Amino acid sequence: MRDMVVDPLTVPTTEGSLADLVGRNAAEAGPETAFSVRSTSSATSSATSSGGAVTWRPVTWAEFDEQVRAVAKGLVALGVEPGDRVGIMSRTRYEWTVLDFAAWTAGAVVVPIYETSSSEQVLWILGDAGVRTVVVETSAHRDVVDTVRGEATDLRDVLVVDEGALDRLRELGAEVGDDDLARRLEGIDRTSPATIIYTSGTTGRPKGCELTHGNFLDLTDNAIGKLGDVVLSDGAATLLFLPLAHVFARFIEVLCVSGRARMGHSADIRTLLDDFAGFQPTFVLAVPRVFEKIYNSAEAKATAEGKGRIFSRAADVAVAWSAAQDEAGPGLALRLRHAVFDRLVYAKLRAAMGGRVRYAVSGGAPLGSRLGHFYRGIGILILEGYGLTETTAPVCVNTPDRVKIGTVGPPLPGSAIRIADDGEILVRGVGVFGAYHGNEQATRDALVDGWFHSGDLGSLDGDGYLRITGRKKEILVTAGGKNVAPAVLEDRLRAHPIVSQCIVVGDQKPFIAALITLDAEMWPLWAKNHGLDGVSLDAARSHPAVQEALQEAVDHANLAVSKAESIRKFAVLDGDFTEDNGYLTPSLKLKRNVVMRDFADDVEALFA
């Protein structure tokens, strides 16, 4: 075993709650802008790509405090008692954050529900958590809840944001006094439960992770100590577009409130570039697939405009310039080429993200080293990290002054990493959860002698930086006895512009193979750039040029592994793996057992 322990920067206490952050900020920084709230109006002149027009309305800390307290009083008037579960089913928007802190101010426990959840998933979470009140975004979400309402025996109230839920709560709470809220807050400390977040559920039922006020507060206190230049710098601002139902975005929400970084919300990926331009964040958070999409789209657009060779050379220079930062630094010739491409290419890419982005925080899956070097080379430093729902998000992260591309960084202060003899990553620290809600057996299995067994595989280098190599339960063992981690190959394959999803197979088989799906969004532009304009996506699956491109992608992926671990054959499937058809979780993780069940014949055909 190998351990890496980092002492906390702050001494944990039991005092205070997440709700206290809002009142503190109002008292100490009331007139300062806390949020920029997106609103659409046809009367403004700044048109978006979706046909509307957008303005960003500032909300001060004092205004946010008033809104949170008013909504909290409404929840009290509605009958929400301390410890009651309040569900939120909505896209990422300002009202989500208001409801989050309002529920905490009322002493409630927040239960997020992905807005894309099926009625079966909604029923499971409502029933398992014992949700009494749920606030949904739209009437369509209410319809989903209504289909299971008779079976969700604890559910009492359903409110709809788009139908004035927050205004209604303000009206209901008009007669509730400040003393009522004060008494509620006196009963909350850092050991009190703040939220129950349900895991993605790649296998079986999602489990509800009980996270306390202290998990969030202690983790953010320690994270700010290492990410101060990101969160505390003058004008620091982030635009949230990942789901707040996921712990990653939720942690950043709390981090921004704690560090007083300006925050905005964007709910529609189709308007994201317009929102970047209007909001102008200084840091963003995303999963690697987003960074891959931005790169691939920029490359395809440059090729379509006849500037493909310039982009390719610029990308190579960016990667080389970044890699040189880890050695003796770039030489004169490389610095000159970098300066030229900064004017021609890099500045335009930064402008597409609002023009002020200095940092990007990446998590959820490994980020390829080349991609990390490319973004640092164009002037956006990606801080790759590692965490899970059970750890309140980050356990490890690269920090601005200690970046090692290709790793997820060292443990944050207050966290410890142990690599077990079988390579499993074990975690201990201030962010680690206390229990799965109502599931004692799963809790005992996951928490052993104070260490959380993550199920992930990794290694620590000599400097204490963690590398992720795969998932323990996903390891394939070939007929020849070779252990293969599919994530290494899959991550590289998905980086190709026309690859949407893939699954590496070969358990108890003579060799390794893969099933691949094509990216319908990228296909038209890629096809045009490669002389295949007019070839449909259906025809593309068997087209020789596509097969050749995919073989090159497979060959590139195979460079990361030994010959025995390499992909020998692949097949292109009809359709795609998506959340809508049940093959991806809301956090875009592949449900391997479902894919293997439904595509068993396709898998067997690879080895026939």
516-544 pLDDT, tens per residue? 999 999 999 999 999 999 999 999 999 99
pLDDT of residue 48: 47
> Cα separation of 120 and 145, whole Å?
10
DSSP secondary structure of 547-592: HHHHHHHHHHHHTTS-GGGSEEEEEEPSS---TTTTSB-TT--B-H
Which single residue is written with the structure tokens 């959380």? 452
Q: Give the pLDDT mean for 26-30.
A: 97
Residue 329: is its pLDDT beyond 70? yes
- The token duo for 105 is 């101010």
Length, in residues, of the chain: 608
pLDDT of residue 395: 96
CA 600-489-327 angle, 5° bins: 170
Q: Give the pLDDT mean for 137-153.
A: 96
Structural domains in the chain, CATH included, are: 17-188+234-281 (3.40.50.12780), 288-472 (3.40.50.12780), 475-606 (3.30.300.30)
Residue 79: is its pLDDT beyond 60? yes
339-390 pLDDT, tens per residue? 999 999 999 999 999 999 999 999 988 888 999 999 999 999 999 999 999 9
% of the chain with per-residue pLDDT over 90: 85
CB 208 within 8 A of CB 438: yes
CA 571-576-582 angle, 5° bins: 125
- The token duo for 283 is 């840091």
The 3 state secondary structure assigned to 473-534 is HHCEECCCCCEECHHHHHHHHHCCCCEEEEEEECCCCCCEEEEEEECCCCHHHHHHHCCCCC
Question: pLDDT tier at 49 (50, 70, 90 boundaries)?
Answer: very low
pLDDT of residue 8: 76
Residue 496: is its pLDDT beyond 70? yes
Residue 42: is its pLDDT beyond 50? no
Residue 136 makes CB contacts below 8 A (sequence gap 6+) with: 89, 90, 142, 144, 145, 158, 159, 160, 161
CB 16 within 8 A of CB 190: yes
Residue 50: is its pLDDT beyond 50? no
pLDDT of residue 54: 85
Residue 41: is its pLDDT beyond 80? no
Where does residue 533 rank: exposed (0-12), middle (13-18), buried (19+ CB within 10 A)?
exposed
Which residue from 437, 433, 467 is spatially nearest to 452, judged by alpha carbons?
Answer: 433
Residue 36: is its pLDDT beyond 90? yes
pLDDT of residue 519: 96
pLDDT of residue 203: 61
Angle at which helix 61-78 crosses helix 178-186, to 10 degrees, equals: 90
pLDDT of residue 10: 66
Find the range with the poorest average confidence among 12-26, 328-342, 410-424, 552-566: 12-26
pLDDT of residue 289: 87
CA 162-275-313 angle, 5° bins: 150
238-261 pLDDT, tens per residue? 999 999 999 999 999 999 999 999
> Cα separation of 277 and 287, whole Å?
20
pLDDT of residue 516: 98
Rg for the chain, CA atoms, rounded = 24
Which residue from 148, 285, 131 is spatially nearest to 208, judged by alpha carbons?
Answer: 131
Question: pLDDT tier at 52 (50, 70, 90 boundaries)?
Answer: low
Find the range with the poorest average confidence among 40-44, 258-262, 425-429: 40-44
pLDDT of residue 14: 61
445-455 pLDDT, tens per residue? 999 999 999 99
> Cα separation of 154 and 223, whole Å?
37
pTM: 0.90
Q: Give the pLDDT mean for 420-437.
A: 96
> Cα separation of 133 and 309, whole Å?
57
Q: Give the pLDDT mean for 502-506.
A: 96
Number of H helices, E strands in the chain: 23, 26
Left if phi > 0, otherwise alpha if psi is -120 to 50, otherwise beta: which for 374?
Answer: alpha
> Cα separation of 221 and 11, whole Å?
10
Question: pLDDT tier at 6 (50, 70, 90 boundaries)?
Answer: confident
345-382: burial string, b at 16+ Cβ within 10 Å, e else: bbeebbeebbeebbbbbbbbbbbbbbbbbbbbbbebbb
Mean pLDDT of the chain: 93
Find the range with the poorest average confidence among 146-160, 198-212, 319-333: 198-212
CB 587 within 8 A of CB 250: no
pLDDT of residue 47: 43
Question: pLDDT tier at 46 (50, 70, 90 boundaries)?
Answer: very low
pLDDT of residue 481: 87
The 3 state secondary structure assigned to 221-244 is HHHHHHCHHHHCCCCCEEEECCCC
DSSP secondary structure of 5-52: E---SS---S---HHHHHHHHHHHHTTSEEEEEEEE-TTSS-B-TTS-
Q: Is 117 helix (H, G, I), strand (E, B) or coil?
A: coil
Ordered alpha helix ranges (H), 48-130: 61-78, 94-105, 119-129
Where does residue 329 rank: exposed (0-12), middle (13-18), buried (19+ CB within 10 A)?
exposed
Ordered alpha helix ranges (H), 57-93: 61-78
Q: Give the pLDDT mean for 141-159.
A: 96
Q: Give the pLDDT mean for 38-65.
A: 73
> Cα separation of 588 and 490, whole Å?
14
Q: Is 155 helix (H, G, I), strand (E, B) or coil?
A: coil
Q: How far apart are the first and last CA of the chain?
A: 41
Question: pLDDT tier at 202 (50, 70, 90 boundaries)?
Answer: low
